[in-house]
A and B are shown apart, each in its own frame.
Chain A
Amino acid sequence: MSVVTLAQVQLRDRSAGSCEQRNGFCPDWIADNWTNYVDPTVRHALLVALAVLFGFAIAFGLALLAHRRRVLVAPITAVTGVLYTIPSLALFLVLLPITGRGITTGVVALTAFTLLIIFRNIMLGLDNVPADARDAATGMGMTDRQVLWRVELPLAVPEIVAGLRVAATTTVGLAALAFFAGAGGLGGEIYSDLTFKSNIVVAGGLCLLLAGLFDALFVLIERLMTRWRRAVPA
């Protein structure tokens, strides 16, 4: 079935000019066809956004658990490490019989991939909190829960966001293979015309652009969440 849909996508109009026939890099072709890339780009961004969102939710829960019970750090790192190691393409295909073709399989596999990066960075951020800050908070009469939410997590924001940035940019690259799971994305465009230079440049360029946008978004989030840094006079 997938072969049929791919064949249809391949029917690009190459007769219009000689540039396409010579397989050069064709600004005119791009100007005429860029609308074809809008939907895959949106889908690509959606895959990454959902994967990072779910990945963060799961990794955050695991990190809070491991923060309280340190013995859990090693097993959680091991399990998420295995998930990180499995090539995304293989994971997409192994999941196919279980979750079926479509965006679910894509998001599940990509989420699995983000867990290690995000988990490790949250733990790093929590471990880097100065003991003095923790002591001061306890001395002020804060409960463990208050120390966690009002002192430790806010101080860990830079490391946590750094993890999210790495996770997001990596996931943009991996999502380029999600079309093997029928989840769409820019990879489908790349794959549909692998030898056409203009297509490769546009689709590949959009991937890089998306990675840059996600990165910028997280930098912005970090700025907004670490206002306390600027409250201290330099």
Chain B
Amino acid sequence: MAPGGARMSQFGDAIDFIFTSRESRTGGVQIGGSQMLDLLWKHLELSAVSIALAILVAVPLGLAIGHTGRGAFFAQFVANAGRAVPSLALIAFFVAYIGVGFTNVTLALVLLGIPPILGNTYVGVRQVDPDMVDAARGMGLTELQVLGRVELPLAVPTIFGGIRNSVINIVATATIAPLAGVVTLGDPIINASVYGDAGRLGAAIVVAVLAIASEIIFAALQRRVTPRGIRPERRRRMLRPSSRKVPVTP
């Protein structure tokens, strides 16, 4: 364990690495500073494409399973099993069996991102009050309208919970993408011999900040897309005794 002063200076060096560029240990390449922006951009690009594709696949599938009730076991199995697959094993499996490169890593991250969204979308639709669905049908809405106008809006907060979980997983796993040939913010961590200890720690700090920032952004998005009627603060107000006088029948 390093003594206090040395410990602080390690963090100081790491912060310094993030903001100022220098020549790599092995020479020839500029690392740190503005180069971190390139890595950050690649990290964001990979994560954004992956999360978008995961949503495109998992949300419609989860809606269909939740609405029809068919394939419920499948949705739950995928959600549970997906959690147990180590991201490193998944990336390694792609490296060994399918290949490296941006497309392959994206595919791996999409697979990683699907289970939480699929599971939450299914649960979100399922937990909609059956009375509301019946009422919507009674009003003459078609099945597709019931799904789109009643079930989906009410499931949105739960679906977004799944999306937030996927974002966390994908941003974290994009860190080991350099193993499969995509140079993200994980590069200084994986190739520490080029970047040195300061680069490794600096990249870890940037990755942590990025993950927290994206979590905050998605939490805010979740609040915005939640229909007014089911926002928590609103619900509390609705539970309060209403001012309208309702005749009490014995």
Interface residues, chain A, with chain B CB atoms under 8 Å away: 2-3, 23, 81-82, 84-94, 96-100, 166, 169-170, 172-177, 180, 186-187, 190-191, 194-197, 200-201, 203-204, 207-208, 211-212, 215
Q: Provide the bound-state CA to CA distance between A37 and B239, in Å.
A: 57
CB-CB nearest in chain B for A179: B88
**Chain A binding surface SS class:** helix
**Contact partner of A100 among B1, B92, B172, B205, CB < 8 A?**
B1
Q: Provide the bound-state CA to CA distance between A175 and B89, in Å.
A: 11
- For this complex, 16 residue pairs linking A to B, each with C-beta atoms less than 8 Å apart, are A3-B192, A3-B193, A85-B211, A87-B207, A87-B208, A90-B175, A90-B211, A91-B208, A93-B204, A100-B1, A169-B80, A173-B84, A194-B95, A204-B89, A204-B90, A207-B84
Inter-chain contacts of B83 with A (CB < 8 A): 166, 169-170, 173, 211
Known: A90-B208, A93-B201, A169-B84. 17 other contacts (CB 8 A): A81-B215, A86-B211, A86-B212, A90-B172, A172-B84, A173-B86, A173-B87, A177-B88, A190-B86, A190-B92, A194-B92, A194-B179, A197-B96, A204-B86, A204-B89, A211-B83, A212-B84
Q: Provide the bound-state CA to CA distance between A75 and B137, in Å.
A: 42
Min CB distance, B215 to chain A, in Å?
Answer: 4
Given contacts A169-B84, A211-B84, contact A88 B93 (CB under 8 A): no
Min CB distance, B184 to chain A, in Å?
Answer: 12
Min CB distance, A91 to chain B, in Å?
Answer: 7
CB-CB nearest in chain B for A177: B88
Residue-wise, chain B 189-218 has the 8 Å CB interface mask toward A (1 for contact) of 100110000001100110110011001000
Interface contact A87-B175, CB-CB below 8 Å: yes
Q: Provide the bound-state CA to CA distance between A92 and B172, in Å.
A: 12
Interface contact B96-A200, CB-CB below 8 Å: yes
